[in-house]
Amino acid sequence: MKNAFEEEFLYSLKVLDFCHYYKVPSPPPRSKLTRFYTPRPYDFILLKDGIFCALELKSTSRDTAYPLSKFPSYQLDNLRDVKRQGGLAIVVINIRKKNPREITAYAFDFEDIEALIREGRASIPKTCLLSGYQVPREKTEKGKYIWRVDLLLQYFWEKCLAPTVVKK
């Protein structure tokens, strides 16, 4: 697996067991066959109550800003397609400071990221980065930490989709 954050996230999904999920596999290491593989569009697919959610996970060790150049164009296109089809496209940025040891994660609707790109920004500024939805992290009975992905999904369901649901 690519990084520790993805491993923790996958473990959290297994422990919470609140939705169907799929970890999009990474292409194999470089070989003669690498050219036949397409890069993965996002890291995780979640399906809950008929709602499709694409999650893209990013990691950094600084909370000063996050460069938008770390979003390849194919990822932006795929996240944009998910939104266009009525699903949730969420970007989660994990900040792992070494001194002092702090681990936090902030989540954003893809539309927030796209707005920064349209403005011509080169990065997500610190004020914007720290104003995202802070994903709760809890210690389990077994002593391992889990990310509360269920609360993350509920937050974005209410923020992005609930206003568009028409009640009879």
Kindly report the pTM of this predicted structure: 0.87
Position 1 scores a pLDDT of: 37
CA distance 46 to 21: 4
- Tell me what pLDDT residue 54 has: 96
Q: Name the nearest CA neighbour of 108 among 121, 123, 126, 89.
A: 89
pLDDT digits (tens, 9 = 90+) for 5-36: 999 999 999 999 999 999 998 777 766 666 66
Asked if 58 contacts 9 with a C-beta cutoff of 8 angstroms, the reply is no
Distance of alpha carbon 70 from alpha carbon 22, whole angstroms: 23
What is the per-residue pLDDT across 28-66, written as a single tens digit (0 to 9) for each? 776 666 666 778 899 999 999 888 999 999 999 888 889
Q: Where are the domains of the chain?
A: 4-164
Quick one: pLDDT at residue 3? Answer: 80
Class of domain 4-164: alpha beta
Q: What is the 3-state secondary structure (H, E, C) of 50-66?
A: CEEEEEEEEEECCCCEE
Helices of type H across 69-164: 73-84, 110-118, 126-129, 149-156
User: CA torsion, points 147, 150, 156, 157, in degrees to nearest 10?
Assistant: 170
What pLDDT does residue 90 have?
Answer: 96
pLDDT tens, residue by residue, 82-130: 999 999 999 999 998 887 778 899 999 999 999 999 999 999 999 998 8
